Copies of this chain bind each other. A is one copy, B any other.
Amino acid sequence: MGTEDRKEREKEQMRQLIIKTAMQLFIEKGMDNVSIRAIAEKIEYSPGSIYTYFKDKSEIIHAIHTEGFEKLYALQKTLDGVENPVDKLAQMGRLYMKFALENRDYYDLMFIAKGVAEKITEKQEWDVGNRSYDYLRETVKECIDQGYINDPNVDAVTFGIWGFVHGMAALIIRGRCAMMPEEFIEQTVSGSLSFMYTHLINN
């Protein structure tokens, strides 16, 4: 009796269609236009139907959220070949900022938006994010082990560095630097990254 299998497959297809549509809207028109009604309209279903496939809106958002972390991790993985952990760390910092500023909606959803992290109840739901965090942490650990960073507290250093890049990104994305000219911001971010790089590392 393969009927159940097929139905499950069809249901999964529908789920994917909804997610795909949500992502399209997300990329094209930003988070604010990913409304249940907008998704429904685009797939020519009624808003209520969405609820046959998802418990609530946050379940759909979560999929976009996860996609964002996939993108970020894929970028981080391009640094796999970098031998020197200090170089790797420096490049990771610039790569992170670049990702944040070139994918502002994704970044916002992943690290800033309200009501996203709050919905995560299952431990394993943090995995996609932790993977990226651990990638940074490992690099920091190598820097410490090889004597490039002079502090035994891996977590403090890692969190500090994350905070540093996230902070700049978040301030820019949420318009808290709007009083500064665009080019000035760019230069300043670049200068900050250099400053940190120069001072946190022993040569």
CB distance from A68 to the nearest CB of B (A): 13
Taking residues whose C-beta sits less than 8 angstroms from the other chain, chain A's interface range is: 35 or more
- CA of A177 to CA of B179 in the docked complex: distance in angstroms? 30
1/0 contact string of A147-169 vs chain B (CB within 8 Å) = 00011010111011011111110
DSSP class of A's interface residues: helix, strand, loop or mixed? helix
Does A7 interact with chain B (Cβ within 8 Å)?
A: no
- This chain: how many copies in the complex? 2
The one of B170, B179, B196 in contact with A170, judged by C-beta atoms closer than 8 angstroms, is B170
Does A63 interact with chain B (Cβ within 8 Å)?
A: no
The one of B113, B166, B175 in contact with A117, judged by C-beta atoms closer than 8 angstroms, is B175
Q: Tell me if A151 and B198 are in contact (CB < 8 A).
A: yes
- CA of A176 to CA of B132 in the docked complex: distance in angstroms? 13
Residue of B nearest to A179 (CB): B126
Of the candidate stretches A36-44, A72-80, A184-192, the one touching chain B is A184-192
Q: Tell me if B117 and A192 are in contact (CB < 8 A).
A: no
The one of B118, B165, B174, B198 in contact with A163, judged by C-beta atoms closer than 8 angstroms, is B165
Does A6 interact with chain B (Cβ within 8 Å)?
A: no
Q: Tell me if B188 and A155 are in contact (CB < 8 A).
A: yes
CB distance from A134 to the nearest CB of B (A): 11
CB distance from A119 to the nearest CB of B (A): 10
Does A55 interact with chain B (Cβ within 8 Å)?
A: no
Q: Tell me if B192 and A159 are in contact (CB < 8 A).
A: yes
Contacts of A199 in B (CB 8 A): 150-151, 199-200
Does A130 interact with chain B (Cβ within 8 Å)?
A: yes
Q: Tell me if A163 and B156 are in contact (CB < 8 A).
A: no
Extra A-B contacts (7), CB below 8 Å, given A117-B174, A156-B192? A114-B174, A150-B199, A151-B195, A160-B192, A160-B193, A160-B195, A166-B171
A positions within 8 Å CB-CB of B: 111-114, 117-118, 120, 123, 126, 129-130, 150-151, 153, 155-157, 159-160, 162-168, 170-171, 174-179, 184, 187-196, 198-200
